[in-house]
Amino acid sequence: PKGELEISTMPAGKHGGNLDNKINTIGSTIHIPVNHPGALLSIGDMHASQGDGEICGTGVEVSGDVLLSCSITDSSEIAENEYPITETKTHWVTHGVAVEDIPRATTIASEEAALLLTKEWGFSMEDACVFLGVAGDLGLCQAIHPD
């Protein structure tokens, strides 16, 4: 995030981090805001299977190889969202991250989705909210990380 110099991959946040979401899979594009020149990228924590919510803090953890393509795009090409966005062949998924605050996380995800609709598809904010109320889905991932 802007203003921070060192960021841990755990927990997830505006920087990406531990985005344990089963929609982040083969063929997904994850748009992560980059706020610092020379920013680093870390990839890991692969799952063979994981349920929504990662309820007990783990999926089926595996090792594996990743074929990854990275590019830096002009911010005008992607909405000015503050949090990561996953793009699949059929969906756009905003990630609302708020450690230990599920209501706040859902608010962030909803606000990010409305912003995406206004910036990428020209919706008014009112139309974006109506559209999300009719066709938007709100889900949870990585709901718990027991100590």
Tell me: the pLDDT tens digits for 100-123? 788 998 999 999 999 999 998 999
Asked whether the beta carbons of 145 and 8 are under 8 A apart, the reply is no
Of 4 and 112, more confident: 112
- Please tell me whether the overall predicted TM-score, pTM, comes out greater than 0.85 for this model: no
- DSSP summary character for residue 62: E
Mean pLDDT, residues 48-71:
83
Q: Residue 3: is its pLDDT beyond 70?
A: no
Mean pLDDT, residues 89-99:
87
Mean pLDDT, residues 4-33:
82
The Cα 12–Cα 83 span in angstroms is: 10
The Cα 83–Cα 105 span in angstroms is: 11
The Cα 91–Cα 28 span in angstroms is: 10
Mean pLDDT, residues 80-99:
88
Mean pLDDT, residues 88-93:
92
Ranges of beta strands (E only) in the chain are 29-31, 46-49, 60-62, 85-87, 92-94
Token pair 């110099």 in the structure block, residue: 5
